[in-house]
């Protein structure tokens, strides 16, 4: 009797034990049925959004058009970003100008372009040179060079005249020794005079050459022997 009472008490106090009225099949059904009832709850934890149209809903075509327009506006604001885009923009502007008649009735249409620039003037000085040319003026280095060349021509003309005079006098007094000695002394003095004139001219030539923008416009210095050779003479009469 004691044993039965203790077992009966244990059955009432242990909630995990299955009662005699429940069979194994009923217990399995109850347990699996509970699992099936809990699984839909986890699926329904995030209910789907209601299929209701709102004001923010925009068709795909409209959004694509808006995106294209925004890209066009951004491109026009930022400007071309590559060489190809610049070429396309320039070609478009030229074609548009042609359609609008911007190239019609040109002054030199069908004629070669006039070469109005001076090839001796550096590119960075062409604008200043054009301003002087349009106002009837010339750069200072051109004026100085032209003036120096004119001085050299005058010196050579005088040297030729004087040298030919000594040459004629020397051969005219071929029999008079005293006269020839006088002519020789005067000729030596004249050579010294020419040498000094050439020294002064060469100093002026150096100053003018420093102003030349192009090396090939340099004026060569004078040499007395070369100048005498021009007129067919040497330092010695005879």
- Using CA of residue 121, residue 127, residue 132, residue 133, what is the dihedral sign? positive
In a domain, residue 157? The reply is yes
In a domain, residue 135? The reply is no
Q: Tell me if 141 sits within 8 A of 211, measured CB to CB.
A: yes
Residue appearing with tokens 């478009």: 92
In a domain, residue 211? The reply is yes
Looking at the structure of the chain, the number of domains it has is 2
In a domain, residue 131? The reply is no
The total of other beta-carbon atoms located within 10 Å of residue 157's CB is 10
Quote the domain boundaries for residue 15. 7-38
In a domain, residue 85? The reply is no
What pTM value is reported for the model?
Answer: 0.48
Q: Could you report the per-residue pLDDT of 45-81, keeping only the tens digit for each?
A: 455 554 544 444 444 444 555 555 555 555 555 566 7
In a domain, residue 105? The reply is no
In a domain, residue 89? The reply is no
Q: Could you report the per-residue pLDDT of 85-144, keeping only the tens digit for each?
A: 888 888 888 889 888 888 888 777 777 766 666 777 778 878 887 788 788 887 788 889
In a domain, residue 170? The reply is yes
The total of other beta-carbon atoms located within 10 Å of residue 187's CB is 19
Q: Could you report the per-residue pLDDT of 18-48, keeping only the tens digit for each?
A: 454 555 555 555 554 544 444 444 444 455 5
Residue appearing with tokens 């986890």: 42
Element holding 222 (H helix, E strand): none
Nearest CA to 115 out of 104, 126, 106, 131 is that of 126
């Amino acid at each position: 009797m004691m044993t039965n009472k203790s077992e009966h008490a244990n059955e009432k106090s242990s909630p995990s034990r299955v009662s005699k009225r429940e069979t194994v099949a009923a217990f399995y059904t109850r347990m699996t049925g509970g699992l099936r009832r809990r699984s839909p709850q986890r699926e329904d934890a995030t209910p789907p959004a209601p299929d209701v149209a709102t004001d923010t809903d925009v068709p795909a075509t409209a959004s694509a058009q808006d995106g294209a327009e925004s890209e066009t506006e951004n491109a026009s604001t930022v400007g071309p970003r590559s060489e190809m885009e610049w070429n396309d923009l320039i070609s478009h502007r030229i074609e548009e100008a042609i359609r609008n008649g911007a190239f019609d009735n040109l002054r030199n249409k069908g004629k070669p372009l006039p070469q109005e620039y001076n090839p001796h003037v550096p590119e960075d000085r062409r604008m200043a040179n054009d301003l002087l040319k349009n106002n009837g003026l010339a750069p200072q280095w051109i004026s100085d060079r032209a003036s120096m060349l004119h001085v050299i021509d005058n010196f050579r003309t005088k040297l030729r005249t004087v040298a030919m005079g000594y040459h004629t006098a020397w051969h005219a007094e071929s029999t008079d020794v005293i006269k020839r000695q006088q002519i020789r002394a005067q000729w030596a003095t004249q050579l010294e005079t020419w040498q000094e004139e050439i020294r002064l001219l060469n100093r002026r030539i150096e100053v003018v050459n420093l102003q030349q923008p192009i090396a090939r416009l340099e004026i060569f210095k004078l040499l007395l022997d070369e100048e005498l050779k021009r007129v067919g003479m040497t330092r010695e009469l005879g």
